Structure 1
Amino acid sequence: MILNPEAQKRAQQEIESVIGCNRLPTFADRESLPYVEAILKETLRWQPAAPIPLPYRCSESVEYEGYFIPKDATIIANSWHISRDENLHRDPESFIPERFLVPPTFRFDAEDAGTPLDPTTYVFGYGRRKCPGIHFADSMLWFTIVTLLATTRILPAKDSDGKDILPRVEYTGGLVRELLPTPYHFEPLSATHAAIVSDLVTSI
């Protein structure tokens, strides 16, 4: 959100128009917040946490789209490549939630009318071995994103000269990546939002 302030602003305007400023969003609001949903999908696509999922073993010999895959072959999917496939996602290195709106509100050129591939079909794994916690993870990601956007501005930290410290998109290695620490600043959207968050923390 620091690197894409216009996306943050648009999502906050959507949230305010749907639920106002006097309560937190709930799961009942999810279908009414398509831009927040698009931010979730674009976040999963833009920087998948597991670019290369666990290997699979082929349980029987099969032919798939002209390729013969023998029994016991090791299959390693490439979620990173899928997320960067320009036939599926134009300008893949850019963070563009609008590509996941229905219908998409972002066009790269007059011939670009395709629908991007939903990242939830590949970032959680594949087939019968897909992550069993996919629905829990999806719900918690959405709830975290919408709650932060509904209550705070996510801003860059400042250096000693008062200039913005913009985060670099850098991750740890390993099967599951984590974003390297980067400074940031949370600012309540208003005194009302600050009170809502304070009441929530007190109740917990």
Structure 2
Amino acid sequence: MLTLTDITWIDVGLAGVGIYLVKQVLTQKTPAPFPPGPPGRPLVGNIPDMPQVKPWLTFTEWGKKYGDISHVEVLGQHIMVLNSVKTAIEMLEKKSSVYSDRPVLPMGGELVGWKNTLVLLPYGDHLREYRKNFHRVIGSRAAMDIYQPIEEIETHRFLKRVLAKPDQLQAHVRHTAGAIILRISHGYEVKENNDPFVDLADLAVDQFSKSTATGAWMVDIMPSLAKLPDWLPGAGFKRVAREWHETLEEMVAAPYKFVKDQMAAGTAPKSFTSNLLEGRTLSAEEDHIVKWSAASLYSGGADTTVSAIYAFFLAMTLFPDAQKKAQAEIDAVVGPDRLPSFGDRDSLPYTEALAKEVLRWNAVVPTAIPHRVIEDDIHDGYYIPKGSLIIPNIWFMLNDPRTYANPSEFNPDRFLSKEGKEPETDPRTICFGFGRRICPGLHLADASVWMSTAMSLAVFDISKVVENGVEITPEVDPSSGTISHPKPFKCSIKPRSAKALSLIQEDA
């Protein structure tokens, strides 16, 4: 497959010569300077500066050197990186009508087909239809109330799986995230093992993360490569895109057909999809919107919460004091005779703060999905030309010492009011994105993370594994890709007591 690393800078330079010369002829004086950034090289501009591994770390260094907005240009494409919450709000929220488009991503969007899902949908009428569908079903905490029993039942089942096979924690987290999202999106109850829809979602979303990763595909920088004949050396990315496209199409179509078949048989439970289909005769366009809206919910919830909940177990392994403090609160409020429920949430402020700190400490989508500017803008004295890509460096915003005291420290207390001190900024105002592209499933994700946190702490002690008499400390090493996951790790998960064991084993 053709990636940035597969092409020499000579090849890129030759390809860029034409673009550079045309630009020299056509470029007019800009109405204001571009934001500062790494100086470009002749012909290739900033191509060598674009990071491919953990780009958020490079972007953070740019922020330290150049300020809250930094600028690079890659073969005529202007890219602005935002390294402050204030700037992100000023641009992406206060000027959302200008900053809410999405880039055309030749690999992930066009060739694989993710352009039809909410996350990459261009700004316009279809986006508004998708978001209206989301808002109606899961757009507020109140709207989410109807799905709370599903969250509680499936999380209880998660506890049973972890008890039975604690060494397969990551698989259990994935299975449970898939079970919750499929019940809500398509009314589908997953099989206990090797569920085809869960496996399909896992595969497709992993491919999404790879196909949309910043700087990973040369075709994203030089879209004309998409026209290369398949047989040409270097066009292997087209074969990969075809395979991934087939996975995506199956992930979208199979559960949608399941709902339609159940509705025809009169056996469909209430779900996001059945709500949108019920009592309607749809045009081809409306059918497309419903099908891909449901797929957007299904795919959007199948992997992001996995990262957050897996990170919760990593944090509890590394920070036992926070775990003990939350457990003491749960014991005092909930007691030993039942599992926590959503009804307890307002009475568990430290547990709430701990769930927030997990979302801050582990940036699930560290550089967000780029926004695209639909018209020229002057912001803070800098020229932001139409078509520019805007990348919010979410990772740094969640680790910015101007916003969070000692950001490398895992400290849930930062979100609690204390005498003379206000709580620090709620990370949920940052980690789900900004403006009209904010994650519409944020209430669902937030509920899933909180419920997993509260139930798991109520019944399990989570600690470091001891092997051959040596305590193993897990490494904090998040993966690259659009959706970042903690590096797989080992931990010990054991019932806290005989009473906790009996709670886990009760019927879910």
TM-score greater than 0.5 by the shorter chain: yes
Aligned length: 193
> Percent identity at matched positions?
39
Residue 436 of structure 2 is aligned to residue 128 of structure 1: yes
1:109-157 Cα distance to aligned partner (Å, 9 max, x none):
xxxx464221111111111111121110000000001110011100111
Residue 487 of structure 2 is aligned to residue 180 of structure 1: yes
Cα distance between partner residues in 1 of 2:419 and 2:446: 21
Correspondence list, 1:88-103, <5 A: 88-103=403-418
Residue 344 of structure 2 is aligned to residue 25 of structure 1: no
Residues 104 and 90 of structure 1: CA distance in aligned 2, closer, same or farther (over 3 Å): farther
Q: Which residue of 2 aligns with 1:147?
A: 455
Cα distance between partner residues in 2 of 1:30 and 1:60: 44
Q: Which residue of 2 aligns with 1:73?
A: 388
Q: Which residue of 2 aligns with 1:110?
A: none
Q: CA RMSD in A?
A: 1.7
AA paired with 2:493? F
AA paired with 1:44? L
Which of 154, 164, 168 is the equivalent residue of 2:471? 164
Q: Which residue of 1 aligns with 2:69?
A: none
Cα distance between partner residues in 2 of 1:14 and 1:62: 50
Cα distance between partner residues in 2 of 1:165 and 1:77: 35
Of 37-46 and 60-69, deviating more is 60-69
8 Å Cα contact 1:38/1:101 also seen in 2: yes
AA paired with 2:458? A
Of 5-14 and 43-52, deviating more is 43-52
Of 178-187 and 14-23, deviating more is 178-187
8 Å Cα contact 2:416/2:422 also seen in 1: no
Q: Secondary structure in 2 aligned to 1:88?
A: coil
Residue 502 of structure 2 is aligned to residue 195 of structure 1: yes
AA paired with 2:360? R
8 Å Cα contact 1:98/1:104 also seen in 2: no
Structure 1 position 45, deviation (Å): 0.8
Structure 2 residue ranges without an equivalent (≥5): 1-315
8 Å Cα contact 2:461/2:493 also seen in 1: yes
8 Å Cα contact 2:372/2:388 also seen in 1: yes
Cα distance between partner residues in 2 of 1:133 and 1:179: 22
8 Å Cα contact 1:158/1:165 also seen in 2: yes
Structure 1 position 71, deviation (Å): 2.7
Cα distance between partner residues in 1 of 2:379 and 2:345: 37
Q: Secondary structure in 2 aligned to 1:149?
A: helix
Q: TM-score, structure 1 length as denominator?
A: 0.89
Q: Secondary structure in 2 aligned to 1:37?
A: helix
Structure 1 position 67, deviation (Å): 3.9
1:135-181 Cα distance to aligned partner (Å, 9 max, x none):
10000000001110011100111111x22211111122211111121
Name whichever structure is richer in strand by fraction. Answer: 1
8 Å Cα contact 2:318/2:463 also seen in 1: no
AA paired with 2:356? K
Structure 1 residue ranges without an equivalent (≥5): 106-112
Structure 1 position 64, deviation (Å): 3.8
Structure 1 position 187, deviation (Å): 1.4
Residues 21 and 48 of structure 1: CA distance in aligned 2, closer, same or farther (over 3 Å): same
Structure 1 position 63, deviation (Å): 4.0
Structure 1 position 52, deviation (Å): 0.5
Correspondence list, 1:59-70, <5 A: 59-70=374-385
8 Å Cα contact 1:88/1:115 also seen in 2: no
Q: Which residue of 2 aligns with 1:54?
A: 369
Cα distance between partner residues in 2 of 1:64 and 1:24: 51
Q: Secondary structure in 2 aligned to 1:87?
A: coil
Of 184-193 and 135-144, deviating more is 184-193
Q: Which residue of 2 aligns with 1:117?
A: 425
Structure 1 position 16, deviation (Å): 0.5
AA paired with 2:341? T
* Rg larger for: 2
Q: Which residue of 1 aligns with 2:91?
A: none
Residue 351 of structure 2 is aligned to residue 43 of structure 1: no
Cα distance between partner residues in 2 of 1:153 and 1:38: 19
Cα distance between partner residues in 1 of 2:325 and 2:356: 16
